[in-house]
Structure 1
Amino acid sequence: MLRTPAPPVPRSGAAPRVRWLLAAGWVAQVALRLWLNRYHGAPVANPDETGYLLAARWLAGGAGADLSGSTFYQAGYALLLVPIFWLTSDPGLAYRLAVGVGAVAAASAYPVAYVLLRRLRVGRRAALALAFTAGSSPSLLVFSGFALADAVLPVVVLGWLVALHDLVAGGPLRRRVAAGAAAGGLAAYAMAVHLRGTVIVAVCLLVLVALWRRLPRAALIATLVSAVAGAVAGDALNGALRAALYPGGPRDLSGLLVERLTSLEGQAWALSGAAGQLWYLVAGTWGLAGVGLAGAAALLTRRSAPFVPRVLAGALLTLTLGIAYASSAALPDEHRVGNFAYGRYLACVAVAWTLVGMLVLLRARRLPAARASAAGHAQAGAGRASAAGRAQAGAGRASVAGRGLSGAGWLSVVRHVVAAAGLLAVTGGVVAWYAGDRLHRHAFIAFDFPEVIFLTQRPGSLDLVAASLSALALLACLAGAALARRPAVLATAVLGLIQMAFVVHLAPAPPAPGPDWLPAPSPPGRVAVEAGVKWNVWVPLSYRVWWTGIERFRGTPPEGVCTAVVPQEAGPPPAGWTVTGARHGWVTWSRC
């Protein structure tokens, strides 16, 4: 994110080797995720996973369901799963294939991160190592094992940043037009995937408005056309899905959102929740997001800073704050600790901030040298590649590559680390002040806190202080490595060790054998569920029953139904029906 010289001319034959390394690294990333998720055989994050799977099955021409009153799960991510349901109707096999799709998508963050680092003028070897290490970040490992949109959104954000860079960086008009079309299209696709994508579209449009005089008209038009066309197509697809799977309408949060935005109490909820998400973002990236946020803010305040990094820093910072605030404002109070400190919504930007934080640590210590290098380049350009200019530019590159360390460099690294610690303390303090004893009274769901549990080794509660101190300890290790003689190698190695420790922590144990907790109707008969059955039974059952859509009823089961699922307190079945199963608050009646 700081001023750096242009990379040296690549050696002959380097490009093919890089492509092979990217391909091999991508395969390794996919293999790691498949190994971590080898025991995932059915949806567990309900109703989210089931909502996306049912959407994909319906889009593929299979049986739908009635999810009226549930949260609306959009079609953008489900489109990626449609080919699975063309190949198989078996729900177990389809789910395992969906996990494979998530592994492939999340592993693609590695090559995309490499491209982004090269755009930011990181050397080839350092970019390969850092991109691979960041590709195993928790936000890319945890959610890739589930049928969730969070498996693809981080890659979409990284790709959008690459396209945004190429749009504003100059160069041939054709390249800028293509980059604009990619930036608008990726933003529109993100909007079709999740409501967080709406913020990406808004930020993309803000960038166009802010830079409309500096961008070629053709590139502006290409960006707007791709964004608008993609948004319209996504809205039409989501409209069709909503009408088919939510005939009674999805869960309406618009009233809650308006109330939050127009009342002091609602604003307190939204702002404290946003602070909790920022706290989690910093802690869940081992403090690197805090360093990156501080570096981005400092870059935006320096008018002498390079134009393109300032645009990217402003876009990423606005996107992060916008998602944190908007998602918190629309989040209902579910009496869980995750209402106050939550990492999933900002997981889509966590990898980007991890990369930025590492770049700030590695470059902040060499700010004086980087400026000298920039002066060398200016002199070289003014002198038409004079010998003096080339010598000074080369000296600047050597300094940035990094052997020496000035006192100003030490101070710069320390300032960024202190800023990250301050951000962690302030946001954590806001969470503790606003939530109070609700952090202990409300439900702690382990799925909401994978990084925090790793930091504290407490799987049943949230300890803000312990998690913050652990994250700062890891950040201190990273900062110390960044101050060493070979900073890029050592800092990346330290980050890799932390990520490896998280992988070991995340490694699953074989599931304990036991009876299935869902009803087991047999095809091809019709299946109906009584209205009193809880959602955590009938929602996953809607996916389990692949041959027909689940019907809902009150009182007596409809005529022609073969299997009825009723609450356990429903009493004996009507004449002609037989009890065929009972567990976890439900009973099944059959007559076929």
Structure 2
Amino acid sequence: MSTAEPESGPSAGTSSEDGRTGPQWWHARWVVPSALALGYVLNVLFRLSLVTRQDYPTVNPDEQMYLVMARIMAGLPTTEIPGNQVIPGGYSLLISPAMRITQDPVYAYHLILGINALISCLVLPAAYWALRRLNVSRPVSYVVAAAAVLLPPVVFYSQFAMADTALPVLVLLWLIGVHGLFSEGSRGRRIRFALLASFAAGYCLLTHDRGGVIIALTGLVLLVALVLNWVPRIAAALGLVVLAVMFVVKQLMTAWLMSRIDGAQPSEVGNAVFQTLENTRLMRRTFMRTVGHLWYFMTSTWGLGALALVVCVWVVFSSRFARADRVVGFLMVALLGGIALAAAAGLPADHRIDTIVYARYLSPLAAVYVVVAVAALYHVRGWKKIVAIGVAATAVTAALTAVLLRMAVNELHKSWFIPWGLPDATFLSSRWSEGWDSFHAGRTTAVALIVFAALVLLRLLGAGRRFALGAGAAGIALAVFAGAGTAVITDRVTEPWTEERYGDGTGLIKEAGIRPGDRLVMDRDLRWEGRTTLAYTVLDGRVWTRALIKDEQPPAEANVAVLALFDDNAPATASWPKAPAGWHVDRDVRQRDYVVWRRG
């Protein structure tokens, strides 16, 4: 399917089997850069249009953890971090410039969402590069890359201050680097690809705990390549050095952040994963969740993820393919399984449906799996072969659905439905029933497979000599459906989610009368959502959490305290019966069940 230098000879994929060339104007040097630049700008504007009403973080405590680390990296005063755990800070480093520009929390959050758009839209050129490496023609590569950048799993998480924004493009660059390293070419060129692969893998680790799976797989592949002399040894050795350096940088960054945040501890996600995997009593639950996460991934990519999985497994075990294809195929399968298993083991027992069928952790793989799926449809010739891989992908999706419903039927009925955790599944099932208030695995699968069948049918229309036309038509349909799905999910999930949390966002700041420079202490009995949000929104001061109602003393530097009021008929002073001398009630926000105190 691939060539080492697809752009060095005749246009990749346009002049092979059918003996014809693609549109000549695509070969002009200025066309592709101009088209990519225009597409990038339009996608950035589209993303910004989706988040115009978002003024504050709403995904607790994830966003606030990244934001607190970003404010410290920006040189602002330290504060407490929700959960007292320091998670990887690579994403916080990327958004920290926003807090150097302004100390207004709303304006800073707008700038952060703008940075998110700039980062997320890099999927467009990265996906185009990946498709060209897979020997797909320029026009089809551009159309499919435009679809990949619009996929709901790619766009949705970029609408929040979350590390998932950067991971899709990092995963693409990582696999492009690995593919280039194992492809034929000059030693210098393969060294550059090795450095790209290792840096991207390392920054994945610097960005999220999922990067641990990526860096482990990268290290394994580089060690094997070094021992078996599959690549220039200097390239493999330099790649391993970069991996080691990035690992050390991650440790140093975590240590630096912990030294500046009182009571902070390193993330315990990795420990939770291994403890669960060692617990034989939780094996069934872990397997059920792994199936659920894989099922969600296959349906959220509308069956194309399953097709790419089938193709990757076939490539790994077939000697007909180049080593670069086989290594990348192995990495894609291993990463999918590794992240699904780690997420299934690491997530807590919180009685939520999205813990069983979680969307977020596998979402960075959506773009690359769609890219590989369409590249496979592009290259496969003959309607029988196209139908065969389509049936295999459908069978994988249907089998995962059957196992999920068999194992999790009771848990799904007893667990909480939260639309934010199930955006893709809810969107698909709503195409069937128009309902957005419940989870339906069967309907979700049915609609996903209908979309998949329509894409395969479009490809079949060009099963003969017009294969590029068929693949291009499927890519256009995919881009239209992806864009529409993203817009609908924003309207039905993202915006209502944000509106419901206004009281814990900027609303709390206004109602509580928090002023610039205030140093705020919160009682532990205050609503958890409010406490986590205030850790960021008090951007030019700092916050603490203390058990004030249990007579724990406020910090000496604090000048404002917020405590819960549980009895609507009690006076405001009942919120802090043993308030220290010098503190007085500043305002009674009874409609939201809290009281604001001030010193002096």
Q: What per-residue deviation string (whole Å, max 9, x for no partner) do you get for residues 80-135 of structure 1?
A: 01211111111111101110111111111000111111111111111111111221
Deviation at residue 268 of structure 1 after TM alignment:
2.0
Query: Does 1:305 pair with 2:302?
Result: no
Local SS of the residue matching 1:295: helix
Q: 1:465 to 1:580 in 2, by over 3 A?
A: same
Aligned partners of 2:225 and 2:236 also within 8 Å: no
Equivalent residue number for residue 61 of structure 1:
75
Q: 1:137 to 1:339 in 2, by over 3 A?
A: same
Aligned partners of 2:134 and 2:375 also within 8 Å: no
CA distance in 2, matches of 1:134, 1:292: 14
Aligned partners of 2:518 and 2:542 also within 8 Å: no
Q: What per-residue deviation string (whole Å, max 9, x for no partner) do you get for residues 238-284 of structure 1?
A: 22113323624256345543332123232222222121111111100
Query: Does 1:219 pair with 2:219?
Result: no
Aligned partners of 2:352 and 2:415 also within 8 Å: yes
Equivalent residue number for residue 463 of structure 1:
440
CA distance in 1, matches of 2:301, 2:156: 13
Structure 2 unaligned runs (5+)?
Answer: 12-23, 463-468, 567-572
Equivalent residue number for residue 399 of structure 1:
none
Count of residue pairs the alignment pairs up: 549
Query: Does 1:194 pair with 2:191?
Result: no
> What aligned pairs does 1:245-324 form with structure 2 within 5 A after superposition?
245=261, 247-249=263-265, 252-253=268-269, 256-324=272-340
Local SS of the residue matching 2:75: coil
Q: What amino acid is the match of 1:9?
A: P
Deviation at residue 40 of structure 1 after TM alignment:
1.3
Equivalent residue number for residue 130 of structure 1:
144
Equivalent residue number for residue 354 of structure 1:
370
> What aligned pairs does 1:419-434 form with structure 2 within 5 A after superposition?
419-434=392-407
Deviation at residue 151 of structure 1 after TM alignment:
0.6
Choose 269-278 or 34-43, whichever is displaced more: 269-278
Query: Does 1:494 pair with 2:477?
Result: yes
Aligned partners of 1:291 and 1:420 also within 8 Å: yes
Choose 200-209 or 249-258, whichever is displaced more: 249-258
Q: Select 1:532's aligned residue among 525, 536, 543.
A: 525
> What aligned pairs does 1:419-458 form with structure 2 within 5 A after superposition?
419-457=392-430, 458=435
Choose 125-134 or 241-250, whichever is displaced more: 241-250
Share of identical aligned residues, percent? 28
Local SS of the residue matching 1:15: coil
Q: What amino acid is the match of 1:497?
A: V
Q: What amino acid is the match of 2:558?
A: V
Q: What per-residue deviation string (whole Å, max 9, x for no partner) do you get for residues 29-54 of structure 1?
A: 11110111111111011111111111
Equivalent residue number for residue 566 of structure 1:
563
Equivalent residue number for residue 27 of structure 1:
41
Aligned partners of 1:277 and 1:342 also within 8 Å: yes
Aligned partners of 2:85 and 2:265 also within 8 Å: no
Q: 1:14 to 1:321 in 2, by over 3 A?
A: same
Q: Select 2:460's aligned residue among 483, 499, 502.
A: 483
Deviation at residue 526 of structure 1 after TM alignment:
2.2
CA distance in 1, matches of 2:253, 2:558: 32
Aligned partners of 2:308 and 2:372 also within 8 Å: yes
CA distance in 1, matches of 2:302, 2:251: 37
Q: 1:531 to 1:445 in 2, by over 3 A?
A: same
Q: What amino acid is the match of 2:397?
A: L
Equivalent residue number for residue 588 of structure 1:
596
Deviation at residue 3 of structure 1 after TM alignment:
9.0
> What aligned pairs does 1:517-556 form with structure 2 within 5 A after superposition?
517=508, 519-554=512-547, 555=551, 556=553
CA distance in 1, matches of 2:269, 2:473: 47
Aligned partners of 2:306 and 2:396 also within 8 Å: yes
> What aligned pairs does 1:149-160 form with structure 2 within 5 A after superposition?
149-160=163-174
CA distance in 1, matches of 2:408, 2:213: 26
Aligned partners of 1:29 and 1:107 also within 8 Å: yes
Deviation at residue 487 of structure 1 after TM alignment:
0.7
CA distance in 1, matches of 2:575, 2:278: 51
Q: 1:183 to 1:586 in 2, by over 3 A?
A: same
CA distance in 1, matches of 2:199, 2:271: 30
Q: 1:226 to 1:254 in 2, by over 3 A?
A: closer
CA distance in 1, matches of 2:141, 2:517: 54
Q: 1:89 to 1:3 in 2, by over 3 A?
A: closer
Aligned partners of 2:136 and 2:378 also within 8 Å: no
CA distance in 2, matches of 1:42, 1:588: 21
Q: 1:102 to 1:20 in 2, by over 3 A?
A: same
CA distance in 2, matches of 1:551, 1:497: 47
Aligned partners of 2:6 and 2:132 also within 8 Å: no
Aligned partners of 1:105 and 1:152 also within 8 Å: yes
Q: What amino acid is the match of 1:111?
A: P
Q: Select 1:73's aligned residue among 83, 87, 96.
A: 87
Q: 1:318 to 1:87 in 2, by over 3 A?
A: same
Give the alignment's TM-score, normalised by structure 1. Answer: 0.88
> What aligned pairs does 1:226-241 form with structure 2 within 5 A after superposition?
226-241=242-257
Q: What amino acid is the match of 2:388?
A: R
Aligned partners of 2:70 and 2:95 also within 8 Å: yes
Query: Does 1:107 pair with 2:121?
Result: yes
Aligned partners of 2:4 and 2:180 also within 8 Å: no
Q: 1:320 to 1:62 in 2, by over 3 A?
A: same
CA distance in 2, matches of 1:267, 1:183: 34
CA distance in 2, matches of 1:255, 1:205: 21
Aligned partners of 1:362 and 1:488 also within 8 Å: yes
Q: What amino acid is the match of 1:475?
A: F
Query: Does 1:503 pair with 2:503?
Result: no
Deviation at residue 222 of structure 1 after TM alignment:
1.1
Equivalent residue number for residue 90 of structure 1:
104
Q: 1:559 to 1:489 in 2, by over 3 A?
A: closer
Deviation at residue 411 of structure 1 after TM alignment:
2.2
CA distance in 1, matches of 2:148, 2:270: 36
> What aligned pairs does 1:299-448 form with structure 2 within 5 A after superposition?
299-364=315-380, 366=381, 409-448=382-421
Q: 1:219 to 1:517 in 2, by over 3 A?
A: same
Deviation at residue 500 of structure 1 after TM alignment:
3.0
Local SS of the residue matching 1:18: helix
Q: What per-residue deviation string (whole Å, max 9, x for no partner) do you get for residues 52-98 of structure 1?
A: 11101001111222226445332100010121111111111110111
Choose 236-245 or 467-476, whichever is displaced more: 236-245
CA distance in 1, matches of 2:196, 2:233: 16
Deviation at residue 468 of structure 1 after TM alignment:
0.2
Aligned partners of 2:148 and 2:370 also within 8 Å: yes
Aligned partners of 2:298 and 2:397 also within 8 Å: yes
Give the alignment's TM-score, normalised by structure 2. Answer: 0.87
Structure 1 unaligned runs (5+)?
Answer: 367-408
Aligned partners of 1:327 and 1:345 also within 8 Å: yes
Equivalent residue number for residue 449 of structure 2:
472
